[in-house]
Structure 1
Amino acid sequence: MAIIKEKDSESNIIYINKEDLAFRAIKNASDLNNYVLENLSETEKNYVFIDEIQEIEHFEDALRSLLLNNSIDLYCTGSNAELLSGDIAGRLSGRFIEIQVYSLTYTEFLTFQQIGDTDESLQKYMKYGGLPYLKHIALEDNVVFEYLKNIYSTIVFRDIINRYAVRNTPFLEQLIFFLASNIGSIFSAKKISDFLKSQKTNIAPNQVQIYVQHLASAFLIHQVKRYDVEGKRLFEIGEKYYFENLGIRNALWGYRPQDIGKIMENVVYNHLVAHNYTVNVGILGANEIDFIAEKNGEKVYIQVALSLLEEKTIQREFGNLQKIKDNYPKMVITMDTFSGNTIGGIAAIDLKSFLTNRW
């Protein structure tokens, strides 16, 4: 809003924050429409900002009406997928631009925290994640994880349990813990159901799939499909799961040395989607390519390896990429710092260089 005032000091800004009790009277579409019209300027450009708009009943009806006024430039934010439903898209008839806001990237985290690009900074990012509010609290485990657990509770109870009238809340939380412990592993709803049955929890695969979709709709996790590199098609079953915010995952499950490879893979995935790549897991015969990232018709193939100190790891990670027959870029991302030759044109890039776009 400050930028708008710098460019147009006479502009009229209307700000509504549904988390502020000052706006509790705005409960439905009519309330929203009336409030905006009452505060419009008839002579200047009007910029309307509505935060947590999903808290307003039938808000899309008000938006459709307000968009008829050419003097209004309208911006809305929301913290769940309510804003992305096909019903809302249909009602607005294409008169909107959707911008998904992800957790902070590594470079954004450095800027927010006003710290340098060091190994310690990377460890903090991998442990605490990229929620912007972290800049206001001490980056200490007991402080950050308590804050993140509260954020997690808000997401689960407001955006999932209440919104979808979920009854089996113990299973929902058990599913979240299962996914937290298995980030980057390929699972189908049936495999998850079978595993939970072995833990004395009986729930049908279709119910597992429904709960997974709830978690994805609340932006707690990302569900990533597998792509057949040779057949050029998506597989219908078997996905990987990554957390939108690794800090929340670590607050729930713990930040454990044996999980660093998984966490690293999650960090790479989050970086790609934050930079507008469409990401799938690649399947090439019996081999797996960690990520096929595509943007503007161009692809990049990525393998993620914690370390390349063992010959068998080098053969596996580079060998899988060498089997791909097209000429799109291919790379192996590792925690090792290395500056030297490629293997058959495939470079080894350390994680910090990748996250700071030095590749």
Structure 2
Amino acid sequence: MQKPMLKKRDLYLNRMIAFQDTEMIKVITGIRRCGKSSLMKLMAQHLRENGIGQDQILEMNFESMSFPDMDVRGFYEYVKARVLPERRMYLFFDEVQRISGWENAVNSFRVDFDCDIYITGSNAYLLSSELSTYLSGRYVEIKVLPLSFKEFLDFHGYTVTEKKSPTGALKRRITDQDGDIYDERELFNEYARFGGMPMLADVGLEIDRVTAALDGVYSAAVVNDILEREKRKGRRTITDPVLLRKIIMFLADNIGNNVSATSIGNTLVNEGLLEEKGRRKPAVHTIQSYIEALLEAYIFYEIKRFDIKGREYLRTLGKYYIVDMGLRNYLLGYRDGDSGHILENIVYFELLRQGYDVAIGKIDNQEVDFIATKADAKKYIQVTENMNAPETRERELAPLRKIRDNYEKLVIALECDLMQTQDGIRIQSVLDFLLK
């Protein structure tokens, strides 16, 4: 059976290429099944296409039965036996955290051999203090997310083209491989419903197949990267799979809402979600440990608040967003509603893909959905479902008007009849934001 052709993910591949042949160890992180292994294969393919011999490339996937029960000494000896004298080696280690003490081996490769090293991991524990101690200042993290809307279209066989109309405006058209034209809003609805896990391009967007595929993602991320990892580390913090699932369900149902460990515990008890015999309300520090495990497994991302006038981060309630909308719908059911928070979730991760650090903005008693910053840019962003009603327009524009600096201010809307600038604030459709 022929293997499916690798789809390009230039956003991440170019980041890897930028650090090729530097001393830095390239650490590719992200939730299970988001495409890290394929990205490693794309990098190895890039090397071969640019004159690197196959015998200089060593690829090891530690989820494969090719390396059963390998310990750190066996790992080192296996690599050592394949290093070519007087030649630079390119070492690719997939899910390397499955080897206990792997940090020692990887650091030894760096010291002992002329090599360029790439590793993946599905848990932030990979970048814990232990790794930092061994590789202090010598690694760069490349954070991989599920597909953007643009990538989703590409993976599912659609082509986006733009051309200027006689008036000079850009017109966008989306076609399939047969040249048939598709409505971009309908395709966006599919993306918001089924999410951007790359394997869906192989199984198709039929709901039973999507559900089965996402069940595999959930099991791998929760069982392998939280419950099993805790056992391997010898910790006994995350011991209750029922409580873990309840917290996952709560966070998935409350994306974009203010959440704390205390509010989660109270809600689980008050709504009878922990009514099994003999159960008591879990301690706040227990719930916090479970949340941290979900963040480490890249299932949820936490966003902090920033006081715009006071120029400081606040210790008040943060918010959580789920890494993939398909995963949320798998957990909660494919239902209508809550489209405002779904839109926020999609925009938040698109900003991360674009390289921004993102916070919630607070100005007086009002909130700005996102402050997006990177070295050379800052944006203040409101996200809304509809900007047509006058009262909605005023609500979304009011906090942005209060900000007195000269950085870009933007409202991203799903529905808006007039995409224009008001008081220096630009209004943009979410489809333009995602596809331009």
Query: Are the counterparts in 1 of residues 386 and 416 from structure 2 also a CA contact under 8 Å?
Result: no
The normalised TM-score by structure 2 is: 0.79
The range that moved more, 264-273 or 194-203, is 194-203
Query: How far apart in 2 are the matches of 1:283 and 1:337?
Result: 25
Shift of 1:95: 1.8
Shift of 1:156: 1.1
Query: How far apart in 1 are the matches of 2:282 and 2:310?
Result: 33
2:224 is the counterpart of 1:180: no
Please tell me the residue identity of whatever aligns with 2:297. Answer: A
Number of the residue aligned with 2:105: 62
Number of the residue aligned with 2:431: 352
Number of the residue aligned with 1:22: 66
Number of the residue aligned with 2:410: 331
What pairs with 1:1-359 in structure 2 (closer than 5 Å)? 1-10=44-53, 12-25=56-69, 27-116=70-159, 117=174, 118-164=184-230, 165=236, 166-200=238-272, 201=274, 202-338=281-417, 340-356=419-435, 358=436
Query: Are the counterparts in 1 of residues 388 and 416 from structure 2 also a CA contact under 8 Å?
Result: no
Query: How far apart in 1 are the matches of 2:405 and 2:387?
Result: 24
How many residue pairs were aligned? 356
CA, structure 1 residues 286+90, in 2 after alignment: closer, same or farther (shift >3 Å)? Answer: same
Please tell me the residue identity of whatever aligns with 2:67. Answer: F
Deviating 4+ runs (over 6 angstroms): none
Query: Are the counterparts in 1 of residues 148 and 196 from structure 2 also a CA contact under 8 Å?
Result: yes
Query: Are the counterparts in 1 of residues 226 and 293 from structure 2 also a CA contact under 8 Å?
Result: yes
Runs of at least 5 residues in structure 2 that lack an aligned partner in the other structure: 1-43, 160-173, 175-183, 231-235, 275-280
| SS of residue matched to 2:337 | helix
The range that moved more, 97-106 or 300-309, is 97-106
Query: Are the counterparts in 1 of residues 305 and 359 from structure 2 also a CA contact under 8 Å?
Result: yes
Shift of 1:19: 1.5
Runs of at least 5 residues in structure 1 that lack an aligned partner in the other structure: none
CA, structure 1 residues 9+231, in 2 after alignment: closer, same or farther (shift >3 Å)? Answer: closer
Deviations 1:316-343 (A, max 9, x none): 0011111111111011111125454311
Shift of 1:87: 1.6
Shift of 1:152: 0.5
Deviations 1:169-201 (A, max 9, x none): 211111111111111001122222222231244
| SS of residue matched to 1:103 | coil
Please tell me the residue identity of whatever aligns with 1:205. Answer: V
Please tell me the residue identity of whatever aligns with 1:131. Answer: M
Please tell me the residue identity of whatever aligns with 1:5. Answer: R
Shift of 1:309: 2.2
Please tell me the residue identity of whatever aligns with 1:177. Answer: M
State the superposition RMSD in angstroms. Answer: 1.5
Shift of 1:273: 0.9
Deviations 1:278-298 (A, max 9, x none): 111111111011111111153
Query: How far apart in 2 are the matches of 1:307 and 1:256?
Result: 20
CA, structure 1 residues 138+6, in 2 after alignment: closer, same or farther (shift >3 Å)? Answer: same
Query: How far apart in 2 are the matches of 1:197 and 1:57?
Result: 39
| SS of residue matched to 2:132 | helix
Query: Are the counterparts in 2 of residues 80 and 159 from structure 1 also a CA contact under 8 Å?
Result: yes
